[in-house]
Amino acid sequence: MIATNGIEVRLPELIALRAEAGRLDLAPRGKVLATRSGGHLSRFRGRGMEFDESRVYQAGDDVRNMDWRVTARAGTPHVKLFREERERPVWLLVDLGPGMRFGTRVAFKSVVAGRAAALLAWAAADRSDRVGGLVFDETRRFERHPAARTRGLLPLLNALAELSAAGAPRPGTAHRPQSTIRTPHSATPLSDAARRLARLVRPGSLIFVISDFSGIAPEDSAWLAQLADANEVVLIEVYDPIEPAAPPPGLYPVTDGTRYGVIDTSVVSRRSAWERRFSQRAALLEDLSRRHRIHRLALRTDEPVGPALARGLHPRHRRRV
C-alpha cells in the first residue's frame, strides 16, 4: 500500500489508484457528439454495433442493410440504420489553489481533488476514452489535450503530483514552484481556468470540474453555460467537515506551514456568518447546476474518495448536496 501524508499527492499513489477506478460509472447521461471511433453511442448514424431505426430505402443506401421484415410488412423497401460508437474526450479541470490546501481531518482538499481526478482519469482511460486536463493553482497551470490510452493520462497525473508538492506547506520554508509549468499570470482562479477550458473543449466532451468553489459567483453562470453547451459537465465540490458547521466556541490555531494564526469562534455572529457562507455557496451551486442541467456531487475530506465518488456518479445514488 502506498503511504500518504494527507498534505500532498504523489505520483506512485495516483498510479496505484487504477485498481479502484473500475467501480466508477462514467457512462454518458446524455447523447454523445464526439467524432472519433470509440466506446460510446453518438448521434451520428452509420454502420455500428447498435441498431437505431429503420427508414424507407433511398438511392445509394447499402443493400446489405435491408430490413426485410419491415420491407415485407410495409410493402416498401426499408433499410436498417445504426448508431456508431464514438470515442469521448474527457477533460479534468482541477483546482489546487490556496483555498484547496486546507484540511482538519485526514487530508487536504487538494489531496482529495488530486485523488478524485486520478480515479476519473483511470476510469476514462479504461473505457478507451481520451483523457486530458487543466490543472492549476495560484501561479501555475498545466494543460493537456485529450489523448488516447496513457499518453494523456500519465502527464496529467504527473502534473497533479507536481503542483500538489509545490503547494504543500513545509515548516520553516517557502513554497518552491515548479518552473516547468509556470504561467505568466500572477493568479489563476477557477473562473479564469474555466474560461480557458471553454475555448479548448470540443462538442461531445465529458468535463469534470473539481474544486471547493469558494469563489463561485452568479456571474460564473456564463462559463458554466458555455461548458455545458453540447457537453456533459459534472461539478465535484470538495469540502472539509469544519466548513458547513463552525467548531465549538474557542480559539483554534491555524498554519500554512510558514505563518501562524488563531481563529476565534466564540462570537455568535462570527459563527453564524461562517455557516451562512457555506450554505449560500451550496445554494448557488445547486441553482447553477439546475439552470444548466449539470450533474453535481460532493466529496468530504474525511471520507474515502473512491467509494464516495462511485456513489455520487451512480445514477441511482447521485444526490444533491
pLDDT in tens, 60-106: 788 888 999 999 999 999 998 765 545 689 999 999 999 999 999 89
User: CB-based contacts of 249: which residues, under 8 Å, 6+ apart?
Assistant: 265, 266, 271
270 domain residue, yes or no: yes
By the 8 A CB rule, do 21 and 308 touch? no
pLDDT in tens, 249-274: 999 888 877 788 888 889 899 889 99
By the 8 A CB rule, do 22 and 123 touch? yes
Q: Are both 111 and 100 inside the same structural domain?
A: yes
The CA distance from 95 to 192, in Å, is 11
Tally of structural domains, the chain: 2
Q: Are both 98 and 108 inside the same structural domain?
A: yes
302 domain residue, yes or no: yes
Q: Are both 254 and 184 inside the same structural domain?
A: yes
42 domain residue, yes or no: yes
320 domain residue, yes or no: no
The CATH number linked to 96 is: 3.40.50.410
Q: Are both 142 and 68 inside the same structural domain?
A: no
Q: Are both 283 and 163 inside the same structural domain?
A: yes
235 grid coordinates: 461539478
51 domain residue, yes or no: yes
* Largest Cα–Cα separation, the chain: 84
Question: What is the Cβ-side half-sphere exposure of residue 306, based on CA atoms within 13 angstroms?
Answer: 13
In the three-class reduction of DSSP (H, G, I as helix; E, B as strand; rest coil), residue 314 is classed as coil
Q: Are both 40 and 185 inside the same structural domain?
A: no
Q: Are both 96 and 17 inside the same structural domain?
A: yes
318 domain residue, yes or no: no
321 domain residue, yes or no: no
User: CB-based contacts of 68: which residues, under 8 Å, 6+ apart?
Assistant: none
Q: Are both 103 and 183 inside the same structural domain?
A: yes
In the three-class reduction of DSSP (H, G, I as helix; E, B as strand; rest coil), residue 74 is classed as helix
User: CB-based contacts of 64: which residues, under 8 Å, 6+ apart?
Assistant: none
- pLDDT tens track of the chain, all 321 residues? 465 689 999 999 999 999 999 889 887 665 433 333 344 433 433 333 456 678 898 877 888 889 999 999 999 999 987 655 456 899 999 999 999 999 998 999 999 999 999 999 999 998 888 999 999 998 899 999 999 877 879 999 999 999 998 877 655 444 443 333 433 333 347 999 999 999 999 988 999 999 999 989 998 999 999 999 989 999 999 999 999 998 899 998 888 777 888 888 898 998 899 999 999 999 999 999 999 999 999 999 999 999 999 999 875 544 444
Q: What pLDDT does residue 282 have?
A: 93
Q: Are both 160 and 49 inside the same structural domain?
A: no
| Parent domain of 74 | 36-86
Q: Is 229 left (phi over 0), alpha (psi -120 to 50) or beta?
A: beta
Q: Are both 111 and 257 inside the same structural domain?
A: yes
By the 8 A CB rule, do 294 and 233 touch? yes
Q: Are both 151 and 174 inside the same structural domain?
A: yes
Phi and psi torsions of 209, nearest 5°: -110, 115
> What is the pTM for the complete model shown?
0.77
